[in-house]
């Protein structure tokens, strides 16, 4: 389902004029959309972020490879964003799983005492860099299981990775709340419907993986 289609579905629920097929480019410069339709486009992206951040969706997971070199502790992961979440780092060279630690713990290891090199056992994610401790003493093949949310949708034909029906429900709820009107459905009711649908979708997605606890939308 395209960005344009999702916007239209939200507008239909709000009983507003839809965009239709006239718009085909970037929303920022689209003369075919009025200000309210562009606002719905913003709320669609906001709802997308809410859905993506609610769960480690299998559709957003990616295995990234990091190959270390001696005496280098930090590695750029260009595909990772500030909203990304690392689920696991596997040292494919030694068949072990690295442990994620907090920034405070990492700084304690890094700056207290002498610098240590060897086989990495800990990591932290900082911005789009992965930091390892001890500093690698050589070449290690690391497989990083990471959740990478999509960037904001900006083009009419842009698509989504997480369930579009949840984005529609979320954006509809946000729109009702934003304009302070019910439009046939109260904002509280729409919000509850979105939360229940999100919880159900998370439960279904969690069943696709082994030994993962079900997360519930708050």
Q: Are residue 89 and residue 126 in the same domain, yes or no? A: yes
d(CA 169, CA 30): 24
Phi and psi at 120, nearest 5°, equal -60, 140
Q: Which of 24-38, 112-126, 200-214 has the highest mean pLDDT?
A: 24-38
Instruction: Kindly state whether residues 134 and 174 are assigned to the same domain.
Output: no
Report pLDDT for 63. Answer: 96
- The angle, 0 to 180 degrees and rounded to 10, between the axes of the packed helices 164-179 and 187-206 is 160
- What tens digit of pLDDT does each residue of 120-174 get? 999 999 888 999 999 999 999 999 999 999 999 999 999 999 999 999 999 999 9
74 in the same domain as 47: no
pLDDT of residue 185: 65
Domain boundaries, position 71? 60-147
Q: Is 175 in a helix, a strand, or coil?
A: helix
Q: Higher pLDDT residue, 184 or 26?
A: 26
Instruction: State the Cα–Cα distance between residues 192 and 17, nearest whole angstrom.
Output: 25
- Last residue of one domain, picked from the residues 147, 172, 197: 147
Residue 153, class by beta-carbon neighbours within 10 Å (0-12 exposed, 13-18 middle, 19+ buried)?
buried
Same domain, 68 and 143: yes
Give yes or no: residues 72 and 132 share one domain.
yes
Q: Are residues 127 and 179 in the same domain?
A: no
- Are 84 and 70 part of one and the same domain? yes
* 169 falls within a domain: yes
Q: How far apart are CA 108 and CA 94, in angstroms?
A: 25
Looking at residue 215, its pLDDT comes to: 42
End-to-end CA distance of the chain: 26
Confidence of residue 216 (pLDDT cuts 50, 70, 90): very low
Is residue 189 assigned to a domain?
A: yes
| Same domain for 77 and 52 | no
pLDDT single digits (tens) 41-52? 999 999 999 999
Higher pLDDT, 212 or 82: 82
- Has residue 217 been placed in a domain? no
DSSP sequence for 133-160: ESEESS--EEEEEEE-PPPPP-BTT-B-
Task: Identify the pLDDT of residue 170.
Answer: 96
Query: For residue 61, what pLDDT is reported?
Result: 96
Residue 114 belongs to a domain: yes
In 3-state terms, what secondary structure has residue 183? Answer: coil
Q: How far apart are CA 67 and CA 84, in angstroms?
A: 20
Say whether both 122 and 82 belong to one domain: yes
Q: What tokens does 178 get?
A: 């934003």
Predicted local distance difference test score (pLDDT) of residue 19: 95
Number of domains in the chain: 2
pTM comes to: 0.86
Whether residue 109 is contained in a domain is answered as yes
Is residue 33 domain-resident? yes
Write down the pLDDT at residue 211: 54
Burial of 208 (0-12, 13-18, 19+ CB in 10 A): exposed
Task: Please say if the pLDDT value at position 184 is more than 60.
Answer: no
50 is written with which tokens?
Answer: 């809410």
State whether 39 and 98 are in the same domain. Answer: no
Q: Is 215 left (phi over 0), alpha (psi -120 to 50) or beta?
A: beta
Residues 96 and 141 in one domain: yes
Residues 77 and 141 in one domain: yes
Mean pLDDT of 5-18: 96
Does residue 32 fall inside a structural domain?
A: yes
In a domain, 25, yes or no: yes
């Amino acid at each position: 389902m395209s960005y344009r289609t999702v916007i239209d579905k939200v507008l239909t629920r709000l009983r507003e004029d839809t965009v239709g097929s006239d718009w085909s480019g970037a929303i920022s410069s689209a003369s075919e959309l009025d200000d309210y339709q562009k606002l719905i486009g913003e709320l669609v992206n906001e709802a997308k972020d809410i859905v993506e951040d609610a769960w480690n969706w299998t559709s957003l997971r990616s295995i990234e490879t990091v190959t270390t070199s001696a005496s280098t502790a930090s590695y750029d992961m260009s595909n990772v964003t500030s909203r990304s979440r690392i689920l696991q780092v596997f040292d494919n060279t030694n068949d072990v799983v690295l442990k994620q630690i907090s920034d405070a713990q990492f700084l304690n290891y890094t700056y207290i005492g002498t610098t240590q090199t060897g086989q990495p056992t800990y990591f932290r994610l900082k911005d789009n860099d992965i930091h390892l401790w001890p500093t690698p003493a050589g070449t290690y093949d690391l497989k990083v299981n990471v959740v990478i949310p999509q960037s904001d949708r900006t083009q009419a034909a842009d698509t989504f990775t997480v369930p579009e029906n949840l984005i529609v429900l979320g954006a509809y709820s946000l729109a009702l709340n934003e304009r302070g009107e019910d439009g046939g459905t109260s904002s509280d009711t729409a919000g509850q419907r979105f939360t229940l649908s999100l919880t159900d979708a998370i439960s279904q997605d969690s069943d696709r993986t082994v030994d993962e606890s079900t997360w519930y939308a708050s």
